[in-house]
Amino acid sequence: MERTCLAVILAAGDSTRMKSSKSKVLHPVANRPMIAHVVEAVAKAGISSVALVVGRDAEEVAKAASIGGVEVEAHLQKERLGTGHAVLAAREAIARGYDDILVTYGDVPLQTEGPLRAARQALAEGSDIAVIGFHTDRPTGYGRLLVKDGELIAIREEKDATDAERAVKWCNSGLMAINGRKALDLLARIGNGNVKGEYYLTDLVEIARSLGGRVTAVDAPEVEMTGCNNRAELAAIERFWQEHRRQEMMISGVTMIAPETVFLSYDTVIGQDALIEPNVVFGPGAVIDGGAVIHSFSHIEGAHVRAGAAVGPFARLRPGADLGQGSKVGNFCEVKNGQIGEGAKVNHLTYIGDAVIGAGTNIGAGTITCNYDGVNKFETRIGANAFIGSNSALVAPVSIGDGAYIASGSVITDDVPADALAFGRARQEVKPERAKAIRESALAIKAAKKAKAE
């Protein structure tokens, strides 16, 4: 649309039902604050200007709402006097003059751009108000949208509805679009002559009609209009989000053996023909290329797994992990800020941190890159086609050349040249009969203690 639009996002609630030490809209869905999901939906609807109405945790909420390509301006609502009053907290922004004003809520993170665009289209076609509604088989508690001859004539709250009106299953979501040229005048006409003494945004329907304006309603999927007021609803929203995203990925060519056990982040990228086994968790920043295999019970965050690589089972990839094509990080291994070269293998019980592993190198079981001295971190570099024997400790900073061989059980503190063999362990000594003597001595001490106790 070429029409200008301001989105007013209401995010000033006290979140009392959430029973939380932070604002409700800061709680994450798919590892992203729910307010950021709302701003993204607004951006996809072609809106680049947002007036964010904030209250509790104002600075944190404004920061969480700041995503690329959207100009977010925070407006503090000092008193809580209803939704109409909340929108007018952004009076300064509204007064700048926009074709459309879209009002939405920061605690409705599943909303998408489709209904928002439809509401704006209704304004473009001559409506002064376009209310977004949803159909449900469980309308109890919601205001009903009463439509006649294609126009919305009223939003009837359930307590005021007749039996016939209560049977209506088209309900008010609270989201609406307002003619930007008339918005301030319409909002200023909202009164507070009700039991609570509050200013209700829904009164705009009656106000606009009384002035001869056209009011319409557009439909949205029920699940997209799901609001969040407590932890149980937050869990339900997370479930809805995960189910939808998994479905999208599987349709795009990703195999998930037990999709209900896979948990994705808002930015997880998985390529075609990747295989995800059961009980895998993706934190933010995970990129899985096509053809990769993620075995069960693995946790991946801030990592890139390239084509044909395999991870797990029971592996952890932390931020900065980069697995080359055909490489493998196996069971009970952890990689953090480490590059694993093409075809390299880190198969068992190993920690790779702040390291570069060359192509074709084999890292034996129990190997550790000792990257931290308690204050600073250092890098380990291992060349191509090297062999690191089991139970080795590589004390960074250290470099191991191409084709080098590290004997099992070594502690390596100095650089190892290419094709060299390095031992970093004490020479083995055998003391005949010494184990027997130690054992007999220990048994004698134990027997003496027992006799004394008796």
Tell me the pLDDT tens digit for each residue of 84-102: 999 999 999 999 999 999 9
Cβ proximity of 367 and 391 under 8 Å: yes
pLDDT at 206 over 90: yes
Q: Which two tokens stand for residue 211?
A: 């002035």
Measured distance CA(61)–CA(75) in Å, rounded: 11
Measured distance CA(408)–CA(182) in Å, rounded: 78
Tens-digit pLDDT profile for residues 20-29: 999 999 999 9
Cβ proximity of 273 and 250 under 8 Å: no
Q: What is the phi-psi region of residue 452: left when phi exceeds 0, alpha when psi lies from -120 to 50, beta otherwise?
A: alpha
pLDDT band at 1 (very low <50, low <70, confident <90, very high): low
Amino acid at 376: N
Residue matched to tokens 């004490």? 426
Measured distance CA(194)–CA(84) in Å, rounded: 13
What is the average per-residue pLDDT within 392-407? 96
Measured distance CA(339)–CA(404) in Å, rounded: 18
pTM, to two decimals: 0.90
Q: Which two tokens stand for residue 141?
A: 């508690």
Say whether 348 is catalytic.
yes
Q: Which two tokens stand for residue 262?
A: 């896979």
What is the average per-residue pLDDT within 257-275? 98
pLDDT at 374 over 80: yes
pLDDT band at 30 (very low <50, low <70, confident <90, very high): very high
Please name the residue ranges forming H helices in 83-156: 83-88, 91-94, 113-124
pLDDT at 196: 83
Measured distance CA(198)–CA(87) in Å, rounded: 13
Q: What is the phi-psi region of residue 2: left when phi exceeds 0, alpha when psi lies from -120 to 50, beta otherwise?
A: alpha
What is the average per-residue pLDDT within 385-402? 97
CA distances from 348 to 279, 316, 383, 405, 446 (A): 19, 12, 20, 18, 39
CA terminus-to-terminus distance, the chain: 93
> What's the chain's Rg over C-alpha atoms?
31
Spacing of C-alpha 413 from chain mean position: 40
Residue matched to tokens 């991946």? 300
C-beta atoms surrounding 25 within 10 Å: 32
Tens-digit pLDDT profile for residues 116-157: 999 999 999 999 999 999 999 999 989 999 999 889 999 988
Q: What percent of the chain clears pLDDT 70, i.e. is strictly above it? A: 100
Q: In this structure, is the dihedral angle defined by the CA atoms of residues 25, 31, 36 and 37, taken in order, positive or negative?
A: negative
pLDDT at 193: 85
pLDDT at 365: 97
CA angle 153, 155, 161 (to 5 degrees): 105
Helix or strand or coil: residue 405? strand
**Domains of the chain in sequence order:** 5-225 (3.90.550.10), 254-422 (2.160.10.10)
What is the average per-residue pLDDT within 184-198? 90
Round the average pLDDT of the chain to a whole number and report it: 95
φ, ψ at 294 (rounded to 5°):
-110, 110
Please name the residue ranges forming H helices in 95-166: 113-124, 163-166
pLDDT at 14: 81
Q: Which two tokens stand for residue 305?
A: 């797994």
Q: Which two tokens stand for residue 35?
A: 């307010």
pLDDT at 246 over 70: yes
Measured distance CA(169)–CA(370) in Å, rounded: 63
H or E, element range at 41: helix 34-44
pLDDT at 179 over 70: yes
pLDDT at 312 over 90: yes
Closest CA to 172 of 145, 154, 150, 138: 145
C-beta atoms surrounding 449 within 10 Å: 10
Q: What percent of the chain clears pLDDT 90, i.e. is strictly above it? A: 88
Measured distance CA(385)–CA(256) in Å, rounded: 33
Peptide bond into 397 cis (omega under 30): yes
Measured distance CA(345)–CA(326) in Å, rounded: 9
pLDDT at 379 over 80: yes
Peptide bond into 313 cis (omega under 30): yes
Q: Which two tokens stand for residue 63?
A: 């920061």
